[in-house]
Amino acid sequence: MRKTTPSQDLIRGIWEENPVLIQMLGLCPALAVTNSVKNALAMSAATFFVICCSSVLVSSCKRFIPKEVRISAYILVIATFVTLADMLLQAYAPVQHKELGAFIALIVVNCMILGRQEAFSAKNNVYRSLLDAIGTGIGFTIALIMMGGFRELLGTGAFLEYSVFGPNFEPWVIMVLPAGGFLTLGFILLAMGYIEQRKKMKALMAAEKAS
Amino acid sequence: MNEQGNNNGDNEDTLVVESPVPDDQQVPATETVSTLRLVATLAIAGALAGLLIVLLNQHTKPIIDKYKAEQLKLAVYEVLPGSEHYNTYYLIEGKLSPSLPDGAKENDYKRVYVSHSKSGQVKGVAISRGESGFQDVVQIIFGFDPTTGKLLGMKVLDSKETPGLGDKIFKDRAFVDQFFAGPETPLTGVKAGMGKGLPTEIDTITGATISSKAVINIINHALEEWRPVLDQGIPPAPTSLPEGEVQQ
Amino acid sequence: MTDSIVKLTASPHVRSDDSTVKIMWSVVLSLLPVIAASIWFFGPSAFFVLLASTAGCLVTERLFGSHRGSLADGSAMITGLLLGLTLPPGFPLWMAFLGGVFGMAFGKIIFGGLGQNIFNPALVGRAFLQAAFPVAITTWPAKSGQWWSLQGDNFALPFMSPVVDTATAATPLGHLKFGDDSVVTPVIDLFLGTTGGSLGETSALLILLGGIYLAYRGHLNWHIPLSIFVTTFAVSGLFFALGISQFPPLFMLFSGGMMLGAFYMATDMVTSPLSNKGCWLFGFGIGFLVVIIRIWGGLPEGMMYAILLMNALVPFINRATQPRPFGSVSKKQEEAPK
C-alpha cells in the first residue's frame, strides 16, 4: 500500500482523484440536481455532511465491525446520516428540499461515499479519514458547482439567480432538463480529456527533446 | 483506489484449473466470527442509528409541520380571496365532517378546506388535486363557491412542466388571473382569442396547450368528484375548533 | 502498361461510376427545387435560415472534421440544408447556426465523421434546437405582408430572444391536434405547399419529384420511403377508421415533415439498414412511430423522433436481417434428417 501524507489525503480527492470528474462516481446526483447552482450547493452540503460523519464514524468503529457485515454496517451508517441530513434540510431549507426531492434520500446509494468507507476509512485512522472525506467532499462540490454553474448560466441566463446576460437572454431550456446534465458532463469531460492529452503530449515532446 | 487491499484479488488470479484443493479452502482462513456477534453488531448499530434519528425527528418535526401548515394556509387564503379563517372537512363515508372519528389518521381521508363568513355562511371551498400534465403530475389547489358554482381562484402547488413553456401555468399572470375572475364551471379551454365569450371559457396558453388543459381538467375532474358531496350541504363550522386546526 | 491481351489487375474489377462526392452533390441538386420553393413561399427569411444552418455545419466540419476538414464531399452541405429545411422561416439565425454546429459536432464528428455516425446529424441538430428553444421552433408566423418582408425576428442578436410581434399561425398538424375547430387542411393544399410550416414541410410535390429523381439515379433506397408511406397510410387509416384518431390517412402522408423525412433523412446511407429486408423493417418502424407520436404525443409532429429512434435500432436491424452467404446451410436444413 502506498504511504501518503495527511496533506495528500486531503488534496487528492479535490482534483487528482476528483470523485465525479475522474473516478466517475456519484454521477446520479451530479446529473440530476445540478440545474442550478443553488441546488448543486444544497446537494453538495448534504453529501459533504454525510461523507464526513460517515468517514469519522466508520474509521473510529472499524475495530468493532466484523468483516463479514462491513458493507451492511457502512450502509447503515450512511443511511442514518442521510436521514438526518434529509430532516435537517426539510426543517431549515424547505424550498431546496422540495427542489431536490427524492435525490436527498438517494445519497445513500451514492457509491462515492460507500467507496471512501471501503477504500479508506476502514483502513485508516479518524484524522486521516476525516481529511480524506473533506477532500472528496470538496471535490464533489467543485464538480457539482461547475455543472450547476454551466447549466444555470445557459439554461436561465443567471448565476446564483443573479442575471448575467440581461432580460432579453433566450434561455436554452435543454440545459435545465435532464438531457442538459448529460450534455454538460460530456462537455466537461471532453475539455478535461483534451487538457490531459495536451499535457501528456507536451511531456512527451520535452522528453524527446531531452534525449 | 490505490488503498484497496489486493490479498483477495491475488487468490483468484493465481487459481489453477487442475488444483486439487476446492476453491473455498484456498482462501486463507480468517478468524471466524460467530453469527451471533454479526447480528448483535448490526442490531446495536441499528438501534443507535434509530435513536439518533428519533431524537432529531423530535426536534425537526414541529418545524417541518409548521412550515407545511403555513404553506397550506397561504395557499388556501390565496385561492379563497378575502377569507381569514378556514376549517378542514374530511370526507367520511360520502359525507363531509369537520372532525375525524376517534383514532383515525388524518391522511387516510380526502379533505377540503371550507371558509365561512362571520354569520356562518359558506364563502368558499378549497380543493387540492393532482393529475398528470405534460411532464409529470401537476398539483393544484383551487377555490370554489358551491352556491354559485363559480371559481374563486387557483394556485399551482407543484409542477415540473417545461421551463419557458409549461411553467407558464403559474408564471403567466394573465392565465392565472382568469381563474380569479369567477369563471363558471365546468370550465372549457379555448385557444386564446378564439373564445365565444362564454363565462366558462379559459384561454389556454399558446405553445403550452397540454399544460393549460391539464389545469382545466384537474379542476373539472375534482368538481365532478366533489360536487355531489358539496351539494348535500356542508355541516356548520364547529364552534370550538378541534385541536390541531389552523386558526387565524 | 503493356500491349498484352490479358489485363491483370487487382480486384475490384467492376467499378461503379458513383462516388460519395457524386452522390452527395446530386442530392444537393435534387434539393434545389425544394429550396427554391421555400424561398418562393417564405421570402428572404427562408434563404437566411438555410444560409445560417449551412454555415454552422460547414464551419464545424472545416474546424473539427476528420478527413482534414474537407468540405468537398458535400455531406456537410446536405446536413446544413436539411436542417434548415426543418426550421420555421422566422427562426433566429443564431439559433439556426448553433443547430448546425451542434448537429455536426455531436451528430457526426464525435462519432468519427462521415460514415461513422449513428444518428442523422441534421435531425440531431433539430432535436437539440427543439429541446433548447421550444418556443422559437414552434413559432410559425402567419404569412402576411410583402414577399420580401421577413417572416419573424431572423436577426435577433446572438443569445437574445427573438421579438415576435406578428400574428402566429399553427401548422396544419398543430391546427388539427390542438385547434378547437379540428380543421383538416385539404390535401391538395398540402400537396402543392400553400400552407404554413417549416421551410421544407410545405410542398410535398417538389420533394416527391426530388426523391423520385434520386431513386431513379439509385442514390436512395426506394424501399425505405415506400415502406414508411405504406405503414403510415395503413396504420393511420386503421386508427381513423376505428375512430381513435382524427387524422385522415392522406392528411398524415402529406402533412408535416413526412415527405422530407422519408425521402431525405430516413434514407441517409449511413444511418439506414444495409439490406432491403432491413429497410422495410426500418420504414415500418418509422411509419408506425410517426402515427403513434402524432396521435398521442405531446407535440404535433413526430417525424424527427421517429427517425432518430429507428436510427438507434439500425445496428440491431442489420444483425437480425443479415443475409445468408450463398451456399451456406440454414439451421433448419442442418437439423433436418438426411
Name which of A174, A176, A182, A187 to mutate to probe chain C: the one with the most chain C Cβ atoms within 10 A of its Cβ.
A174
Which three cell numbers mark C307? 427517425
Touching check for B171 and chain C: CB below 8 Å?
Answer: no
Residue C338 belongs to some domain of the structure: no
Distances (CA, A) of A85 to A55, A88, A140, B51: 15, 5, 17, 15
Touching check for C180 and chain B: CB below 8 Å?
Answer: yes
Residue A78 belongs to some domain of the structure: yes
Residue ranges of chain A whose pLDDT lies below 50: 1
Domain boundary (C168, C193, C212) is at: C168
Touching check for A102 and chain B: CB below 8 Å?
Answer: no
Residue C333 belongs to some domain of the structure: no
Give the integer Cα–Cα distance in Å for A25 and A195.
Answer: 21
> HEC string of A55-120?
HHHHHHHCCCCCHHHHHHHHHHHHHHHHHHHHHHHHHHCHHHHHHHCHHHHHHHHCHHHHHHHHHH
Per-residue pLDDT at C221: 87
For the range B97-100, what are the long-range contacts, defined as Cβ-Cβ under 8 Å and sequence gap of 24 or more? B97/B235, B98/B235, B98/B237, B98/B238, B98/B242, B99/B238, B99/B242
Write the CB contacts of C53 (distance below 8 Å, at least 6 apart in sequence): C80, C81, C83, C84, C87, C96, C97, C99, C100, C125
Closest partner residue to B191 among C135, C138, C180, by Cβ? Answer: C180
Query: What is the DSSP secondary structure assignment for residue C262, as one 8-state letter?
Result: I
Task: Identify any residues that bridge with B202 across adjacent strands, giving them in sequence order.
Answer: B189
**Which band of pLDDT confidence, cut at 50, 70 and 90, is reported for residue B239?**
low
pLDDT digits (tens, 9 = 90+) for A137-149: 999 999 999 999 9
* Matching residue, cell 461510376: C17
Q: Which of C89, C25, C17, C14 is nearest to C53 (CA)?
A: C89
Say if residue B17's pLDDT is above 60.
no
Closest partner residue to B46 among A67, A76, A156, by Cβ? Answer: A76
Say if residue B10's pLDDT is above 50.
no
**Which band of pLDDT confidence, cut at 50, 70 and 90, is reported for residue B248?**
very low
Whether residues C35 and C164 share a domain: the answer is yes
**C-alpha Rg value of chain B to the nearest Å:** 29
Is-cis flag, bond preceding C12, omega within 30? yes
Measured between CA atoms, how close is B162 to chain C, in angstroms? 9
Residue B45: enclosing H or E segment and its boundaries? Answer: helix B35-79
Give the integer Cα–Cα distance in Å for B24 and B62.
Answer: 54
In chain C, alpha helices (H): 20-42, 44-64, 66-69, 75-85, 93-107, 121-132, 172-178, 187-192, 204-217, 223-241, 249-254, 258-260, 276-296, 303-320, 331-335
A33 near A104, Cβ under 8 Å? no
Taking the CA atoms of residue C147, residue C148, residue C149 and residue C150 in that order, the dihedral angle to the nearest 10 degrees is 100
**Which band of pLDDT confidence, cut at 50, 70 and 90, is reported for residue B4?**
very low
Give the integer Cα–Cα distance in Å for C294 and C309.
Answer: 15
Give, in degrees to the nearest 5, the angle at Cα C304 between C300 and C310. 125
Residue A1 belongs to some domain of the structure: no
- DSSP assignment of C266-300 equals TT-TTTS-SSHHHHHHHHHHHHHHHHHHHHHSSSS
Touching check for A120 and chain B: CB below 8 Å?
Answer: yes
Whether residues C265 and C187 share a domain: the answer is yes
Per-residue pLDDT at B200: 84
Whether residues C192 and C148 share a domain: the answer is no
* Matching residue, cell 463479514: A68
Whether residues C150 and C241 share a domain: the answer is no
Q: Summarize the confidence of residues B74-83 as an average pLDDT.
A: 85
**Higher per-residue pLDDT: A88 or B6:** A88
What does DSSP say about strands B188-191 and B201-204: parallel, antiparallel, or unpaired?
parallel
Say if residue B242's pLDDT is above 50.
no
Domain boundary (C137, C168, C199) is at: C168
Name which of A153, A154, A170 to mutate to probe chain C: the one with the most chain C Cβ atoms within 10 A of its Cβ.
A170
Give, in degrees to the nearest 5, the angle at Cα C49 between C46 and C54. 125
Per-residue pLDDT at C102: 93
Task: Identify any residues that bridge with B131 across adjacent strands, giving them in sequence order.
Answer: B138
Is the C-alpha dihedral spanning B101, B104, B110, B112 positive or negative? positive
In single-letter form, the type of residue at position C217 comes to R
Residue C3 belongs to some domain of the structure: no
B106 near B100, Cβ under 8 Å? yes
Give the integer Cα–Cα distance in Å for C245 and C252.
Answer: 11
Q: Summarize the confidence of residues B139-156 as an average pLDDT.
A: 87
Give the integer Cα–Cα distance in Å for C265 and C267.
Answer: 5
Per-residue pLDDT at A21: 87
User: For every one of its 338 residues, what pLDDT tens digit does chain C have, with 9 covering 90 and above?
Assistant: 456 677 777 777 776 667 777 888 888 888 888 898 888 888 888 899 999 999 999 998 888 876 655 677 788 889 999 999 999 888 899 999 999 999 998 888 888 877 888 899 999 999 999 888 887 887 777 666 666 677 667 777 777 777 766 566 667 777 676 665 556 677 777 777 667 778 877 778 888 888 888 888 888 888 999 999 999 999 999 998 888 877 888 888 888 788 889 998 898 888 888 888 899 999 999 999 999 988 887 677 788 999 999 999 999 999 888 877 777 766 666 665 54
Q: Tell me which residue range forms the domain holding C139.
A: 18-168
**Which band of pLDDT confidence, cut at 50, 70 and 90, is reported for residue B180?**
confident
- Give the orientation angle of helix C204-217 with respect to helix C20-42, to 10 degrees: 170
Which three cell numbers mark B80? 379563497
* Matching residue, cell 437539440: C128
Query: What is the DSSP secondary structure assignment for residue B155, as one 8-state letter?
Result: E
Whether residues C81 and C182 share a domain: the answer is no
Write the CB contacts of B123 (distance below 8 Å, at least 6 apart in sequence): B80, B82, B83, B115, B116, B117, B145
Is the C-alpha dihedral spanning A153, A157, A159, A165 positive or negative? positive
**Which band of pLDDT confidence, cut at 50, 70 and 90, is reported for residue B197?**
confident
Q: Tell me which residue range forms the domain holding A89.
A: 6-210
Residue B35: enclosing H or E segment and its boundaries? Answer: helix B35-79
Measured between CA atoms, how close is B132 to chain C, in angstroms? 12
CB pairs under 8 A between A and B: 76
Residues in chain B within 8 Å Cβ distance of C134: 162, 164-165, 207
Neighbouring chains of A at 3+ CB pairs under 8 Å are: B, C
Residue C10 belongs to some domain of the structure: no
Per-residue pLDDT at A176: 85
- Give the orientation angle of helix C93-107 with respect to helix C121-132, to 10 degrees: 130
Whether residues C190 and C314 share a domain: the answer is yes
pLDDT digits (tens, 9 = 90+) for B116-138: 877 777 888 888 888 888 777 88
Residue A35 belongs to some domain of the structure: yes
With CB atoms and an 8 Å threshold, state whether B190 touches C168: no
Give the integer Cα–Cα distance in Å for B184 and B220.
Answer: 11
| Number of domain units in chain C | 2
Residue C273 belongs to some domain of the structure: yes
Is-cis flag, bond preceding B186, omega within 30? yes
Domain boundary (C143, C168, C193) is at: C168
Whether residues C153 and C178 share a domain: the answer is no
C270 near C123, Cβ under 8 Å? no
Residue C11 belongs to some domain of the structure: no
- Max Cα-Cα span within chain C: 80
Give the integer Cα–Cα distance in Å for C171 and C202.
Answer: 10
Whether residues C91 and C176 share a domain: the answer is no
